[in-house]
Structure 1
Amino acid sequence: MSVTSLLACSLLAAPLPGAPPSENKGRPNILLILADDLGYQDLGCYGGPFETPALDRLASEGVRFTQAYAPAPICSASRAAILTGRSPARLNFTFVTKPEAGRQAIPGAPLKTPPYTLQLPLEEVTTAEVLGDAGYDTAFFGKWHLNPHHGRYLGWSPEFGPPKQGFETAVEDFGGHPYNTDRSKEPTPDGAFPEDSLTDRAIDYLENRGTDAAPFYLHVSHFYVHTPVKPRAKWLTDRYRNESGMQQSRAQYAAFVQTLDHQVGRLLTALEESGLTENTLVVFFSDNGGDPRFARHAPLRGHKWTLYEGGVRVPMIVRGPGVPVGKTIDAPVIGTDLLPTFADYAGVIPLNTRPLDGISIRRRIEGHGEPRGARKMLWHFPYYHPETGVAFPTRPVGWNDPQAPFVGPHSALMVGGYKAIYFYETEALELYDLSADPGERTDLAANDPALRELWKDRLFDRLAAVDARLPESADR
């Protein structure tokens, strides 16, 4: 048995004691649908201006979280944390994968950022390994982005791809996204959406399962709505422009979001037609906030690449056995909660052989109660972004910025309803009461040095506890 398998086995314990009555009906299938760069307010059920009937229906049939958080404001780091239940700071995986080892080389930068992390190490234990050792069939289709590009942009590494991290069935496929250069770029006929082979493969997986098959964990990882935003459903772009008066780029993004919704709807329909809906836990989530060139986050501040709310607060919808219907949940949850939650539903307990940062939120999902104590969440982004076209000094992050302002290394800590953000270049700390000020406009620590030091100590204690790598002076 491989080292990875041994580690995964060591995470499994006896079935959960005192499980709810729904557990007696058998362990549920688990379907995780992950969107790419979908902003908090892009869906209709989150107040967005786009038509998203499939996801709106999913929300009406389950629960919708208003304070769900991505583990990172950027793709690879967030996805690694979602798969392992461990924060990017603990994983030392806090940026995107790179072709080769090294550091950021930004002229004039006063800080030296940590070395790049190239891939998710095989010794990390993923949800697929935990559930696979618990008897689940495991499958992955779509975007991985946890190894350097292999063979092509976003190509899976044969040494570090999904098959090496516990997924028994895994097919590399861009689907209908513009990344797929093999697909026709001709506009689709009026009323038609582009084909999507990624979704087709996931549907085939559902339809070809026997009646006596083991429960499954199916991870469908879309490339939508990541750039390039070039929807083939031109008719839909035109409709948004004509009916809503949107500018071209915004109308194209609207068509992209609705295309994602259409493909999710196809998958959910296949689930229903296969007779699997009743015993399948469905979770829809986004890897980080939206791209500021297209998504609109206000009244939330910031966007993808920042630790303000617009960068990490994301849509999350859950439907399944024991889940209330049509409920909104305002309590904070984070992507690292998914592994322990799925393990809970599978009837196994992840032990502390590899410390987790997430917790099971099953009781919260099912309305059985809240965890004790104030929830603590840590974010760590010790890099500069963007890496080109840099101009110092950095300028403040605002609300609905038309493009990404240059930001420096920063970290954030949320305890209860309070969130502190620390900027390493200026050694400045901002503190916000999210319950009263979700737009992060009033810095409670602006005129209170003692409060700033208190929260700085709290943040750095937490970073030290997970052995996070910090930026250093460029002179060192």
Structure 2
Amino acid sequence: MSFLHGALFRRYALRGRRYALQGFAVCLLLGPLATGAESPRNVVLIVADDLGWSDLGCYGSTFYETPALDKLASEGMRFTDAYASAPVCSPSRAAIMTGKNPTRLGVTAHIGDAHPHQWSRETPLLPASYVDRLPLEELTLAERLHEAGYATLHAGKWHLGGEPFYPEYQGFDLNLGGWVQGGPFTGQGYFSPHGNPRLTDGPAGEYLTDRLAAETARFIEYHHREPFFVHLAFYAVHVPLQARPDLLRKYEKKAAGLPRIVSPMREGPDSLLRVRQDLPVYAAMVEAMDQGVGVVMEALERYGLRDNTIVIFTSDNGGLSTGDRGISEAEGWPTTNAPLRAGKGWLYEGGIRVPLIVRAPGVEAGTTSDRVVTGTDYFTTIEELAELPPAEIGPHDSESFVANLHGKQESRGPAFWHYPHYGNQGGRPGAVMRDGDWKLIEWYGGTPAESDLELFDLQADPSEEHNLAHLEANRVEQMLTALRSWRKGLDAQMPTGRTVPIAKQPEAPRAAGVPSAEPASR
């Protein structure tokens, strides 16, 4: 079924928000007719899922091949110190959509994670409660641009609450594939039939990453005469690990030439850690996503929109590099973020530092920046690049980095993270402050074998191997005071000591070597 006939009319007919009727009018009346030499700047925001900081060629990968994104980096600015606003997806995505820290929103866990009364793992603390949706009262980036006359598309992963909190109720004229699930866990996964109620099935065997890129290109084609905002949120490279056969064969041959690794490393007592990028199925998924980016960039070129479009590419958290045998064996540990430490679900750099590439008018090609950027910063940056007046969004955490994009050396103020949960990948509750090159981690409820406070000089020690807390007592005291003051100011929900008995759940027997089922909403 085609893009227009398969989704457009049905999506715009949904009740509950004014965007349905307005979006229909924009698409069917204004879209093909709108003209004008001084067209507002288009916005294409591409967010990969679980893509690690070092998973692109332009960030140092030699096993994964990403020519489209390497080319994009050569045409714009690549950031070395960009961060997701959380080590897991839902809070990170909420921050991108609103310009607000997940702690301010209360969306601090991936939606679908257990609340304290549901917690059954034997952990020192009960995780904090959290808001399990992006509230409709929040002004989203899509709503901001829609109100400025943009046609708006969400394609791919949403994971910010069930209906009625889907993209079509949050400022998007069209929603292709965004719903309550955090991954392609229905139907045949990445292959059609997808079993996704917000995406019509394509031909049998159609690959989801290819489909989302193609639909995005069609949207650009239909709206190339008016301003548009595209939020292309690839499900890739999130589990399940499924790849196109052609790319899988390519990387199986490539992996066959690598030397054997004798034994894996560990991050903590229970979490295995991948030490080399060498998994063919993951590599194939990365390249398919890169090809999808190429499809979208080609559409911009085809319609003469390259010089009038803001393109931002990033990831929602670090790459999945650790696997805890007692928690999420099914996920595995498909990549490594080396030289950064750990990965998704952890507050070490591998869990929160992500790739960021920006190509926009006024940005010098082939440049890099070490300015600290967080996911909250895209809101005001996009507003400024699009030459829109600041929106009234109330207290927020978004700091524009347009000056850096235009060649000025400006630093961001302190950046903060609060993750009062246990990651499915072995990570534990804690908070982080980064101020300049210094990073402080305060762990909640640490065991005697673990330090409650860790301080790292990221300039000298990006791998976070040397805890300097005992050598920098004054710095630790100052940063810890600031971190706790920030947390108190946002009324952060905290994990608590156990007052609820562990709810033992019977486990079904399974054969040795067979992974447990993937939770549906991760």
TM-score, length-scaled by structure 1: 0.82
Amino acid at match of 1:422: E
Structure 2: distance between partners of 1:4 and 1:463: 34
Query: Which residue in 2 is equivalent to 1:383?
Result: 421
Structure 1 residue corresponding to 2:309, chosen from 273, 277, 280: 280
Query: Which residue in 1 is equivalent to 2:300?
Result: 271
Describe the superposition over 1:65-96 as per-residue Cα deviations: whole angstroms up to 9, x where unpaired. 00010111001110001110101111111111
Query: Which residue in 2 is equivalent to 1:128?
Result: 142
Structure 2: distance between partners of 1:134 and 1:352: 13
Give 1:425 deviation, angstroms. Answer: 0.5
Give 1:109 deviation, angstroms. Answer: 2.6
Amino acid at match of 1:324: E
Query: Which residue in 2 is equivalent to 1:163?
Result: 168
Structure 2: distance between partners of 1:200 and 1:146: 24
Query: Which residue in 2 is equivalent to 1:46?
Result: 59
Structure 2 residue corresponding to 1:291, chosen from 300, 320, 323: 320
Percent identity, please.
39
Query: Which residue in 1 is equivalent to 2:291?
Result: 262
Give 1:440 deviation, angstroms. Answer: 1.1
Describe the superposition over 1:287-329 as per-residue Cα deviations: whole angstroms up to 9, x where unpaired. 0000111111122111000111100111111112111100011
Query: Which residue in 2 is equivalent to 1:30?
Result: 43
Query: Which residue in 2 is equivalent to 1:178?
Result: 189
1:257 alignment partner, SS class: helix
Describe the superposition over 1:79-134 as per-residue Cα deviations: whole angstroms up to 9, x where unpaired. 00111010111111111112886645134433222223221110111101111112
Q: Structure 1 246/53 Cα, relative in aligned 2: closer, same or farther at 3 Å?
A: farther
Describe the superposition over 1:30-72 as per-residue Cα deviations: whole angstroms up to 9, x where unpaired. 1001100000001001010211110000001111100010111
1:196 alignment partner, SS class: helix
Is the contact made by 2:192 and 2:205 (CA closer than 8 Å) also made in structure 1?
no
Give 1:201 deviation, angstroms. Answer: 1.1
1:84 aligned to 2:104?
no
Give 1:352 deviation, angstroms. Answer: 5.7
Is the contact made by 2:115 and 2:128 (CA closer than 8 Å) also made in structure 1?
no
Query: Which residue in 1 is equivalent to 2:240?
Result: 228
Query: Which residue in 2 is equivalent to 1:333?
Result: 373
Q: Structure 1 106/185 Cα, relative in aligned 2: closer, same or farther at 3 Å?
A: farther
Q: Structure 1 178/297 Cα, relative in aligned 2: closer, same or farther at 3 Å?
A: same
Q: Give unmatched runs, 5+ long, in structure 1.
A: 6-23, 149-156, 387-403
Structure 2: distance between partners of 1:221 and 1:303: 20
Query: Which residue in 2 is equivalent to 1:250?
Result: 279
Give 1:249 deviation, angstroms. Answer: 6.8
Count of aligned residue pairs for this structure pair:
423
Query: Which residue in 2 is equivalent to 1:308?
Result: 348
Query: Which residue in 2 is equivalent to 1:73?
Result: 87
1:423 aligned to 2:443?
yes
What is the RMSD computed on CA atoms of the aligned residues? 2.9
Structure 1: distance between partners of 2:437 and 2:471: 20
1:56 aligned to 2:56?
no
Amino acid at match of 2:495: P
2:291 alignment partner, SS class: helix
Structure 2: distance between partners of 1:473 and 1:320: 48
2:279 alignment partner, SS class: helix
1:433 aligned to 2:462?
no
Is the contact made by 1:131 and 1:346 (CA closer than 8 Å) also made in structure 2?
no
Is the contact made by 2:144 and 2:391 (CA closer than 8 Å) also made in structure 1?
no
Amino acid at match of 1:322: G
1:409 aligned to 2:404?
no
Describe the superposition over 1:322-343 as per-residue Cα deviations: whole angstroms up to 9, x where unpaired. 1110001111111111011111
Q: Give unmatched runs, 5+ long, in structure 2.
A: 1-14, 19-36, 195-201, 262-276, 322-332, 501-522
1:343 aligned to 2:383?
yes
Amino acid at match of 1:312: I
* Alignment of structure 1 residues 187-206 onto 2, 5 Å: 196-206=210-220
Q: Structure 1 177/342 Cα, relative in aligned 2: closer, same or farther at 3 Å?
A: farther
Is the contact made by 1:431 and 1:445 (CA closer than 8 Å) also made in structure 2?
yes
Give 1:3 deviation, angstroms. Answer: 12
Amino acid at match of 2:55: D
Give 1:194 deviation, angstroms. Answer: 7.9
Structure 2: distance between partners of 1:185 and 1:438: 46
Is the contact made by 1:412 and 1:459 (CA closer than 8 Å) also made in structure 2?
yes
Structure 1: distance between partners of 2:44 and 2:287: 20
Structure 1: distance between partners of 2:140 and 2:393: 13
Give 1:466 deviation, angstroms. Answer: 1.9
Structure 2: distance between partners of 1:177 and 1:316: 31
Amino acid at match of 2:61: G
Give 1:178 deviation, angstroms. Answer: 3.2
1:464 aligned to 2:488?
yes
TM-score, length-scaled by structure 2: 0.75
2:462 alignment partner, SS class: coil
Structure 1: distance between partners of 2:68 and 2:121: 47
1:370 alignment partner, SS class: coil
Give 1:409 deviation, angstroms. Answer: 0.8
Give 1:204 deviation, angstroms. Answer: 0.7
Amino acid at match of 2:455: L
